[in-house]
Amino acid sequence: MKLTVPTMAQYMAEGKQPEILFWVGSAGSYDDRAKKITKAFVKLLNAANIDFAVLGTEESCTGDAAKRAGNEFLFQMQAVTNIEILNAYEIKKIVTACPHSFNTLKNEYPSLGGNYQVFHHTQYLQQLIKEGRLKITNKSFKGKRITFHDPCYLGRANDVYEAPRELLKELGIDVVEMKRHKRTALCCGAGGAQMFKEPEKGDKDVNVLRTEDALQTNPDIIATGCPYCNTMMTDGVKFKEKEAEIEVLDIAELLAQSSNL
């Protein structure tokens, strides 16, 4: 299926404004696993006929990882550059499939001059379903055991716990919760720039501990809503040699798959 992915520059050339900007993020743009999530989300947007655009080559890292690594200069340089572009295009609404971008755009850009309505893709998809613009009829995941790993930057950081669970409910899935879930959910180990460095000395990797949490629910699928969590949990499942039985999927992928997109 051919994806329709217009850029802001194209919209601008036609003198039009999209309904929403899809912020792809660095992982969603370059990471092979995350690109699949990006595409799944675009398929859903296309299926719902949403007037959206991406910045394409004009998009740059939000600066989250730099900020959390302590480099406030680099973060603010990134933020100010991005805000300049977003404001030039008069962006009002942004959706992103990355909780880190979500948190940064929503909470840390306003005081630097970037004020937008920002949604995580699970919130946006839930809204589309509620408005009847996206229809989920196929319940092919019914009967599967699915657990949901809360991304820290969606859950604790921004108190979004229900949107992803509501979407899973739409798919006819009863989430099997891990012992630590929602506000007590354990981190996957990638946040705070940990994704880009070796962990400090310890007796275990965080993603392995979190995968053990998930394995206790005896799942067929571990669902999540963050490209970094996805990588960490996928690695954890491989470490536990369970990759033949357990899939790690983004909520957008579950929705797209169930609709055979």
Which residues, 221 to 240, sit near other proteins by CB under 8 A? none
Cα dihedral sign, 253-254-260-261: negative
* Conformation bin of residue 97: beta by default, left when phi > 0, alpha when psi is -120 to 50: alpha
Q: Give the shortest CB-131-to-other proteins separation in angstroms.
A: 26
Residue 38 binds to other proteins (criterion: CB under 8 A):
yes
Q: Give the shortest CB-236-to-other proteins separation in angstroms.
A: 12
Q: 85 to 124, contacts with other proteins by CB under 8 A?
A: 103, 106-108, 111-112
- What are 56's two structure tokens? 């394409």
Residue 53 makes CB contacts below 8 A (sequence gap 6+) with: 6, 7, 8, 10, 11, 18, 21, 22
Tell me the number of residues near other proteins by CB under 8 A.
75
Q: Which CB sits closer to other proteins, 123 or 173?
A: 123
d(CA 189, CA 166): 25
d(CA 19, CA 25): 19
Q: Which CB sits closer to other proteins, 69 or 136?
A: 69
Interface map 10-29 toward other proteins (x if CB under 8 A): --------------x-x-xx
Interface map 166-205 toward other proteins (x if CB under 8 A): -----------------xx-xx-xxxxxxxxxxxxxxxxx
Give the rounded distance of the alpha carbon of 84 from its chain centre.
24
| Coil, strand or helix at 258 | helix
Residue from 12, 47, 48, 80 in contact with other proteins (CB under 8 A): 80
